[in-house]
């Protein structure tokens, strides 16, 4: 017997980037396909209450990944939709799950919920010590409210809802749509096309001074599954690799791996976003034994290789975090 035996699992956003990796990891744990319910947004729009009720009915475990997300430009263009859609989906899923007496909810938050000037490495206790970075505050705050709801529901109803804070994810099957992709897929696409078209200059947003932490998608999937199995406390948990890299260094690595030998031009009129991001990941290891095992450059090579092989088709879009 394992934790997942006979468990009926709902994964919202389960057909996306992280959701697909979680499905694969659950199959390795012996979870059969008929145990999983993976609704598509075109069939069940979770902004509608009755669809949330349908989605949770008869389920034991809910992993809530569904989100409207994008990079800095997307966040600046659609702040109201990012706030409303992410808040309403999560709030209704948790309430519907409580009413249906679901055994456990695993809620995926976002590193964007942290204050703009959080000391690095980010520790979970710093989460409320300021306002998020402005370009992604509506998204970050909407997701942050799901932590408040999870803790309130645990206190009042004894409802087991846990909250994870993943950093930026990357890997094969990421979203390479230039209108909504995040920094790694956006840069891979930009430099790959520059090499293909023999461009001499590639323009990149910002100054390059900002830093980010990145987690390979398969590691993230393993973290979510471990937390679902082993973690049952109200405190939020950072999910990351524990490594920080500057955007300037990231751009240089991607340029090298894609074979670009031209000039990189920095458009300093565009925002950098949050100045620094890097997580303290000790709680995840202590509470449920998670530690990332994929090195950043190994994961980046796999991502670039997958993208190059996919150019004859259409890369699938997926869920990620800003």
Q: Mean pLDDT across the stretch 69-76?
A: 86
pTM of the model: 0.92
Res 69: pLDDT = 87
Res 70: pLDDT = 83
Q: What is the share, in percent, of the chain residues with pLDDT greater than 90? A: 89
Q: What is the pLDDT of residues 146-186, one digit of tens each?
A: 999 999 999 999 999 999 999 999 999 999 988 888 899 99
Q: Does the pLDDT of residue 48 top 60, yes or no?
A: yes
Q: What is the pLDDT of residues 260-300, one digit of tens each?
A: 999 999 999 998 988 989 999 999 999 999 999 999 999 99
Q: Does the pLDDT of residue 76 top 60, yes or no?
A: yes
Domain ranges across the chain? 9-170+213-244+275-293
CATH code, 9-170+213-244+275-293: 3.40.50.720
Res 182: pLDDT = 86
Res 1: pLDDT = 60
Mean pLDDT of the chain: 94
In sequence order, the 6+-apart residues with CB closer than 8 A to the CB of 262 are: 194, 199, 200, 201, 202
Q: Which residues pair with 188 in a beta bridge?
A: none
Res 319: pLDDT = 36
Res 153: pLDDT = 98
Q: How far apart are CA 93 and CA 104, in angstroms?
A: 12
Q: Mean pLDDT across the stretch 52-70?
A: 96
- CA-based nearest residue to 167, from 110, 223, 250: 110
Res 322: pLDDT = 32
Q: How far apart are CA 106 and CA 4, in angstroms?
A: 14
Q: Does the pLDDT of residue 314 top 80, yes or no?
A: no
Q: Does the pLDDT of residue 312 top 70, yes or no?
A: no
Catalytic, out of 114, 139, 153, 170: 139
User: For this structure, is 139 an active site residue?
Assistant: yes
At 315, the pLDDT band (50, 70, 90 cuts) reads very low
Res 313: pLDDT = 55
Q: Mean pLDDT across the stretch 195-218?
A: 95
Res 154: pLDDT = 98
Q: What is the pLDDT of residues 100-123, one digit of tens each?
A: 999 999 999 999 999 999 999 999
Res 71: pLDDT = 81
Q: Does the pLDDT of residue 316 top 60, yes or no?
A: no
Q: How far apart are CA 321 and CA 171, in angstroms?
A: 13
Query: How does DSSP assign 191-247, residue by residue?
Result: HHHHHHTT-SEEEEES-S--EE-EEEHHHHHHHHHHHHHH---SS-EEES-S--EEH
- CA-based nearest residue to 18, from 305, 282, 215: 215
- CA-based nearest residue to 320, from 29, 74, 9: 74
At 73, the pLDDT band (50, 70, 90 cuts) reads confident
Q: Does the pLDDT of residue 320 top 80, yes or no?
A: no
């Amino acid at each position: 017997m394992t934790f997942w035996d006979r468990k009926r699992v709902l994964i919202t956003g389960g057909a996306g980037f992280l959701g697909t990796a979680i499905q694969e990891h659950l199959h390795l744990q012996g979870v059969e396909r008929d145990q999983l319910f993976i609704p598509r947004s075109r069939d069940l729009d979770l902004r509608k209450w009755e669809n949330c009720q349908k989605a949770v009915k008869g389920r034991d475990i809910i992993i809530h990944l569904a989100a409207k997300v994008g990079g800095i430009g997307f966040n600046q263009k659609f702040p109201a939709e990012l706030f409303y859609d992410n808040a309403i989906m999560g709030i209704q899923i948790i309430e519907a799950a409580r009413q249906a007496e679901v055994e456990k909810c695993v809620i995926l938050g976002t590193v964007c919920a942290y204050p703009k000037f959080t000391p690095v490495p980010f520790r979970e206790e710093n989460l409320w010590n300021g306002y998020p970075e402005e370009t992604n505050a509506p998204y970050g705050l909407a997701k942050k409210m799901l932590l408040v709801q999870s803790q309130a529901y645990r206190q009042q109803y004894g409802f087991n809802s846990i909250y994870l804070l993943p950093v930026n994810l990357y890997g094969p099957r990421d979203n390479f749509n230039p209108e909504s992709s995040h920094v790694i897929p956006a840069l891979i696409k930009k430099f790959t096309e520059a090499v293909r078209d023999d461009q001499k200059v590639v323009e990149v947003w910002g100054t390059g001074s900002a830093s980010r932490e990145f987690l390979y998608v398969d590691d993230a999937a393993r973290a979510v599954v471990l937390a679902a199995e082993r973690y049952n406390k109200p405190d939020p948990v950072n999910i990351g690799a524990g490594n920080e890299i500057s955007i300037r260094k990231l751009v240089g690595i991607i340029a090298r791996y894609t074979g670009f030998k031209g000039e990189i031009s920095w458009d300093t009129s565009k925002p950098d976003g949050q100045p620094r991001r890097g997580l303290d990941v000790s709680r995840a290891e202590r509470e449920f034994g998670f530690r990332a095992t994929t090195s950043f450059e190994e994961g980046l090579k796999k991502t670039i290789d997958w993208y190059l092989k996919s150019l004859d088709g259409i890369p699938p879009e997926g869920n990620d975090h800003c």
